[in-house]
Chains A and B, each alone.
Chain A
Amino acid sequence: MPKILVCVKRVPATGARIVLTDDEQEINTRFLGFAVSPHEECAVEEAVRIVEGQGGSATVLTLGPPEAEEQLREALSMGIDEAMLLETDGGDWNAMATAQAIHAAVAPAMAGPEPYDLLLFGNESADSSGYQVAVRVARALGLPCVTGVKGLSIEGGMATARREAAGGWEIFEVPLPAVITIKEGINLPRYPSFRGKMAAKKKPVHRLAPEHTEGGMQKIRLQTPETETKGAEVLGEGPDAAPKVVELLKQIGVMQP
C-alpha cells in the first residue's frame, strides 16, 4: 500500500493587484489571506485519491512560519493523515535552502524500514516560481523525478505519469519510489467536508526546526512591473455596441468575410 508525502507551500491569496511592503522585500499581506499554492492543492487531492483507492497513508509537509499550520490543517481536512512543519521564522528561504531542509527532513524516513513510495510537489510555487525544489530533493535522494504531471497512476511499483507537450501528451514510466511534480488540472480538489475539518483538528502536526544553509540565489528586492493602466476605450454600452465591435474586428483583421 503506497506511502505518500506531499510538499506544499503557503502563499498569499493575491487579488487583482499586488502591493509590496515598503522595504520591497515581501508582498504586503496585511489585507490578504493565505492559501496552498494551486498546483500543490491538486497534489494534495491526488495523494488523497490514491490512498482512498489503494489504501496506504499520506503525509503533508511544508517549510514555513508557524502560521503555515493553517495550510497543513487544510490538507489534513481534505483527507491527509498527518503533517510535518519545518518551522522557520518567516524569513526568505531560496530554492536550494528549501530543498536541503526538505531533504534533511525526509532522508531518515527514506533510509528506514517504511520509506515513502511517492513524493508529490507542485510544479512551481505560485509566488517564487523557481521550478526546482522537487528536482533538487529528488537528486539528493537519488530518485527519478517527472515534472509538470497532469495524469498519474500508480501500479505494481511503477508510476505512469503524463504531461502536456505541444498539444499532445508525453508519457513517462518510472519505478517507485519517485518524485512527481503536479500541475493544476490533474484533478479538481475537493472542498473539505465538515467532518473532514473536525477530524483534521485531531490529526498530528510534527514540528521540526530546519537548518538554514547559506548560498544560492539571493533576493535583492521585489518590484511590481509598470503596466499601463490606461483604461480601456469604451466602445459602448449593451448590445448597441455590437456594430462598433465588428468595426474593431475588421480593423484588426480577424473578420474574414
Chain B
Amino acid sequence: MILALVEHSNGTPNGPSFEMLGLAGTLAARTGASLAAAVFGGDPAALADSLQAHGVGSLIQVQHPRLEDYAPDAWARALGQLAESRGAGAVLAAGTDVGNEVLARLGAGLNLPMAANCIEVEPGERYRLRRTRWGGSLYEEAWLPGEPKLLTVAPHILEISENPAQNPPVVETFTPNLEDGDFLVRVTSRIEPESGISLGDAPVVVGGGRGVGSTEGFAPLEELAALLGGVVGGSRVATNLGWRPHADQIGQTGTRISPDIYIACGISGATQHWVGCMGSKTILAINNDPEAPMVAKADYAVIGDLHEIVPAICAEIKKARGG
C-alpha cells in the first residue's frame, strides 16, 4: 500500500496534494500496490469524489478527540501508526509547510530518512528519486532507503492529472494511540486572513526590483496592479532594502506565485527570484537591460525605463476602456 497524506480545507484538497497524488498513483501502479489517502478532519463524503478522480482506492479518516487543532507531532505519530498497521511501503505528502514537517517528524520518530520535494521516483529496494534543491533551480538524484519510504512531492512543478479509480474509495476510520507529549506543539489560536487577494492567488502580479529605486517608485506599479485587479510584489532586493514589506517578497524565501501574467519591472532575475515566479503562466519583463536573465527567461519583454513604460501602460489601459 502507498499511503498519501491529503491536506484539505473543508473537504477540498489543496493543489499540491493533487500533484502529490499523481506521483503516488504512478508509484502504486508500478509496484502493484493500492493507493490510500489519509485525511485529518473534514467530511469524507465531500472528499470521496475528488479522491476517486485521482485514483484513490481507500480513504482513511484519522479520528481522535484531541485532533481538532493542528498538532504536527500527533499527525506524524498517527500517520506512522497507520502506515505500520497497513504495512505501507511508502508514505507521501505534499511538499508544503505541513507535509514537509509532518514527514520530517515521522522520519525523526522512526529514525528513517525523508526525501523532501521529489519530482520523480523509481521504485525498488531503494527508491531512486529526483528532488529539487535551491527552491527548484537545481535537481538532485538520490537513493532513498528505508521501510516505509518517506517522501514529499515538490509543489507547483508536476501537472495535476486525473487518473480515475473505477469505484468510489472505501471509507474507513483509524483511531491512533496518542499521548500528551504529542500535543505539546499545537495550534493554540489563529489569526484569520485579511480580506482581499493574496500574492499567492492573484491572477495578475506586478513585481518590482532594484530598478524601481525607492518606496515611492512603486506607485505606478500599484496603479497598474489596481487597473488589472492584481497585486504588487517585490524581489528580495526590494524587501531587504525596506521598499516593500517582506510579506510582498516573491522568491525562494518568500511567496511562490502562479498568476496568469507576471509583469516583472526592473528585476534582474536572480535564481532566488526566478524560482518564486517560474510558475507564472506568462511573464512580461520590463527592463532597461536586454541582457538581464529575467529578459532571457520571460515570454515577453519591453526594453527601457520602467518609470516611463509602466505609466504609459496604465494610460493605454484607461484609453482602451474609454476613460
Contacts and interface: CB of A to CB of B under 8 A. Distances in A.
A and B from one complex: yes
Interface of A: 14-18, 27, 38-39, 94-96, 99, 124, 126-132, 135-136, 138-140, 144-148, 162-163, 165-175, 183-185, 188, 215-225, 227, 229, 231-246, 248-250, 252-257
Contacts, number: 260
Interface-centre pick from B101, B285, B305 (highest chain A CB count, 10 A): B101
B185 A146 contact: yes
A232 B108 contact: no
Nearest to B199: A167
Contacts of B312: 239-242
A94 B140 CA distance: 12
Interface residues of B, number: 98
A227 B277 CA distance: 14
Contact of A220 (B141, B191, B285, B317): B141
Contacts of A220: 128, 140-143
30 contacts: A16-B271, A39-B253, A124-B116, A129-B134, A131-B104, A131-B116, A132-B104, A132-B114, A165-B190, A166-B9, A169-B190, A171-B188, A171-B191, A172-B185, A188-B246, A218-B145, A222-B139, A223-B139, A227-B297, A229-B297, A232-B283, A233-B300, A233-B301, A234-B290, A235-B300, A236-B303, A237-B303, A239-B309, A241-B302, A245-B316
A96 to B, nearest CB: 6
A164 B189 CA distance: 12
Contacts of A218: 142-143, 145
Given A14-B134, A131-B104, A144-B185, A254 B204 contact: yes
A127 to B, nearest CB: 6
Given A16-B268, A234-B302, A167 B140 contact: no
A78 to B, nearest CB: 15
B100 A131 contact: yes
Contacts of B228: 249, 254-255
B138 A255 contact: no
Contact of B316 (A14, A215, A243): A243
B94 to A, nearest CB: 12
Nearest to A240: B312
Contacts of A16: 268-271, 274, 293
Nearest to B200: A167
B130 to A, nearest CB: 8
Interface of B: 9, 70, 72, 97, 100-101, 104-105, 107-109, 111, 113-117, 128, 130, 132-145, 152, 184-194, 198, 200, 203-204, 228-230, 236, 239-240, 242, 246-247, 249, 252-254, 260-261, 268-272, 274, 281-285, 290, 293, 295-305, 308-309, 311-313, 315-317, 320-321
Given A15-B270, A222-B140, A223-B138, 5 more contacts: A166-B193, A172-B186, A185-B249, A217-B143, A242-B309
A21 B152 CA distance: 27
A132 B260 contact: no
A222 to B, nearest CB: 5
Contact of A254 (B203, B297, B308): B203
Given A16-B269, A217-B144, A172 B116 contact: no
B272 to A, nearest CB: 8
A246 B97 contact: no
B309 A135 contact: no
Nearest to B247: A185
B137 A225 contact: yes
Contact of A144 (B184, B192, B293, B298): B184
B271 A232 contact: no
Nearest to A100: B111
A170 B190 CA distance: 5
A132 B249 contact: no
A27 B302 CA distance: 33
Contacts of B191: 162, 168-169, 171
Contacts of B130: 223
